[in-house]
Amino acid sequence: MSIKRLPPELVNQIAAGEVVERPANVVKELVENALDAGARRIDVTSEGGGRDLISVRDDGRGIPPEQLPLALAAHATSKIASLEDLESVGTMGFRGEALASIASVSRLSLRSRVRGAEEAWVIRSEDGGVGEPEPTSGPEGTLLEIRSLFHNTPARRKFLKTDATEHARISELIQTIAMAHPACGFSLRLGTRTVVELPAVDDPRRRVVEVLGRELTDELLTVDFEGGGVTIWGLAGTPSIAGPTSKRQRIFVNGRPIQDRAIQHALREAYRGLVEPGRHPTVVLFLEIDPRLVDVNVHPAKTEIRFRDGGAIHQAVRRSLKATLAEHDLVPSLELGGGDRGSGSPGGRGPVRPFSATAHGATASYESIREGLEMPAHPAPFLGTSAASTTSDHESKTELMPRIGADVRILRVHAKYLFIEDEQGVLVIDQHALHERMMFEQLKARIDSGPLEVQQFLVPDMIEVDAASIEAMETLAPMLDRIGFDAGVIGPRTVAIRGVPSFLLSRNVEPGPFLRDVLAFGAEQGSVDDVEPLLSEVLDMMACKAAVKAGDRLNDHELAELIARREEIERISNCPHGRPTSLRISIAELDRKFGRS
């Protein structure tokens, strides 16, 4: 079989397969061209899921009539002229193949009028064949109409989804691009309905809120960070508005919406322990970086990029989000009489103040709580030495604890929940979740300074595990050493435990079943490059097993220590699983329910 040069129309159709996967890709390319042309207003129309018509109108600089044929030619562009330009791309588009590729699989009409010109000109193309420019009427700017998309490539057309699905993708795309360009107005009409109408604004926060939903205004924390060669601005949602999908996560680099695994990982790490597994935080981040330090030419659709120093970007994103979250009180408010747990707004919108409880005009800080019980200046690292006793059936389900400090009492309900006053109302604390977070943070602090203390056995303890767990032992061995397990494989399904973390023994946790759970978890994760997230998960398992349980009764000293040390622990608003450790019933909510508002 001889080698042949492909005809231009086939080359363009192959390129279209890379650039134009579906109607939303067409809209993306056309809208990005409009933005590069300096548009202040872009109006998009789609019919038949984009198959029948895609129309993009802008008020940009326009294209001179003599350059209209070049606009539809392959690899013709005004945006780059040299390799140096390609290495520092600052425009949304740059390859010069989008219009040629789109024209090869559609019937295209391009009308444009340069600013200040007396008339507009139009050029038409069908299946890649380009006509001559003709004078016509029309406003300044450019109008592109794409009809009968993929009509000459029926296989491609067959893979498109329903009109509703394709329109949903176009709608999401327009709203995403609009977030990064608040100075430009956008509209989107699908069939006969206008579904997006976003006027130009001078406040980027306002544009983001308009897209995400105004009801989230009070739940979005401003991210403002500079370091590691990158400037980051954006909005980070409180844990209480985390959703079931990542739909409300947007990342932009130099105004370009992108998908990047390293940034997504940094985002997850920043929220680790603040949202429950399976939930996704709301985050919109805008990264500004020297274009020479990022390669945008690694994906035909320009949705993926490559950073010269991805590690620095990962660290900057994680640090910026963690710092923002740490500055705010993330305790969710509980709305009485409706709403899911934690569905309300976080109580407080500023730096977390030291806790104080006010009763009958008196204020008791944590220090006064400690002094009231004559607690030591430096409490023991972990509460108690074993799980507290469980409430018996004949004991009261609700118990008013003795005063601690100045007229401050704690109400304990069903040996699960603790009620205590704070400056904004009533704080309801889950004793297990709070203790779990406390132990998790203390374990992290301990392990950062060296491996946990090991209690050696005189006679090894043997456990039977499955083959996948045996295989996981090799990967997990360094981590097991760090958390205090001295264990090794001695048979096809047998692991010998020669030593265990002293901490687990002190909390009456059975080491054999725990190690079996750790190995099973490691087997599920498979081979991992970064062991730190895995370590965090295992420390979480240790903290959960060792923490006091619902139904365990704490003595007065343990209870006071739990409350007193609450302010000292990072991310105390949530347990390591992401469940809230506490909820707040605001005084305003109580007034409302009692008709005092």
The arithmetic mean of pLDDT across residues 138-154, rounded, is 94
Q: Is the pTM of this model over 0.85?
A: no
pLDDT at 227 (0 to 100): 86
So where are the chain's domains? Answer: 8-198, 204-326, 356-439+552-593, 452-546
Output the CA angle 16-21-23, nearest 5 degrees: 105
Residue 401, φ and ψ in degrees, nearest 5:
-75, 160
Going by CATH, does the domain composed of 204-326 fall within 3.40.50.2300? Answer: no
**What does the DSSP 8-state code read for residue 371?**
H
pLDDT at 298 (0 to 100): 63
- Is the backbone of residue 274 left (phi > 0), alpha (psi -120 to 50) or beta? alpha
Query: Do the domains 452-546 and 8-198 match in fold?
Result: no
Is the pLDDT reported for residue 236 higher than 90?
A: yes
Both tokens of 529, joined, read 């490059």
The arithmetic mean of pLDDT across residues 173-197, rounded, is 95
Is the pLDDT reported for residue 86 higher than 50?
A: no
> Between residues 52 and 410, which one has the greater pLDDT?
52
pLDDT at 337 (0 to 100): 64
Are the C-beta atoms of 410 and 559 separated by less than 8 Å?
yes
Is the pLDDT reported for residue 141 higher than 90?
A: yes
Please name the residue that has the structure tokens 């945008």: 296
CATH no. of 452-546: 3.30.1370.100
* CA neighbor of 283 nearest in space, from 308, 304, 252, 255: 252
Share of the chain above pLDDT 70, in %: 78
Rounded Cα gap, residues 479 and 443, in angstroms: 14
CATH no. of 8-198: 3.30.565.10
The arithmetic mean of pLDDT across residues 458-467, rounded, is 90
The stretches of 39-145 forming alpha helices (DSSP H) are 68-71, 83-86, 98-103
Band (527; pLDDT cuts 50, 70, 90) = low
pLDDT at 133 (0 to 100): 95
pLDDT at 386 (0 to 100): 46
Q: Of 8-17, 303-312, 420-429, give the lowest mean pLDDT range.
A: 8-17
The arithmetic mean of pLDDT across residues 546-565, rounded, is 78
Rounded Cα gap, residues 174 and 563, in angstroms: 48
The arithmetic mean of pLDDT across residues 225-235, rounded, is 92
Rounded Cα gap, residues 349 and 330, in angstroms: 8
pLDDT at 209 (0 to 100): 95
Rounded Cα gap, residues 145 and 57, in angstroms: 9
Output the CA angle 338-339-343, nearest 5 degrees: 145
Q: Which of 57-61, 125-129, 149-153, 240-244 has the highest mean pLDDT?
A: 57-61
The arithmetic mean of pLDDT across residues 127-151, rounded, is 93
The arithmetic mean of pLDDT across residues 229-239, rounded, is 94
Q: Which of 13-17, 110-114, 383-387, 409-413 has the highest mean pLDDT?
A: 110-114
pLDDT, mean over the chain: 81
Per residue in 288-336, pLDDT (tens digit) is 998 888 876 666 556 677 888 888 999 999 999 999 998 888 887 777 7
pLDDT at 82 (0 to 100): 47
* β-bridge mates for residue 306, sequence order: 295
The CATH T-level fold of domain 356-439+552-593 is formyl-coa transferase, domain 3 (3.30.1540)
> Between residues 406 and 9, which one has the greater pLDDT?
9
Both tokens of 161, joined, read 């989804």
The arithmetic mean of pLDDT across residues 55-76, rounded, is 90
Q: Which of 110-124, 268-282, 322-336, 376-390 has the highest mean pLDDT?
A: 110-124
pLDDT at 389 (0 to 100): 46
Q: How many CA atoms lie within 13 A of 562 on its CB side?
A: 28
Share of the chain above pLDDT 90, in %: 40
Q: Which of 25-34, 394-403, 520-529 has the highest mean pLDDT?
A: 25-34
Per residue in 388-399, pLDDT (tens digit) is 444 444 445 555
Determine the 3-state secondary structure of 375 from DSSP. Answer: coil
Are the C-beta atoms of 305 and 298 separated by less than 8 Å?
yes
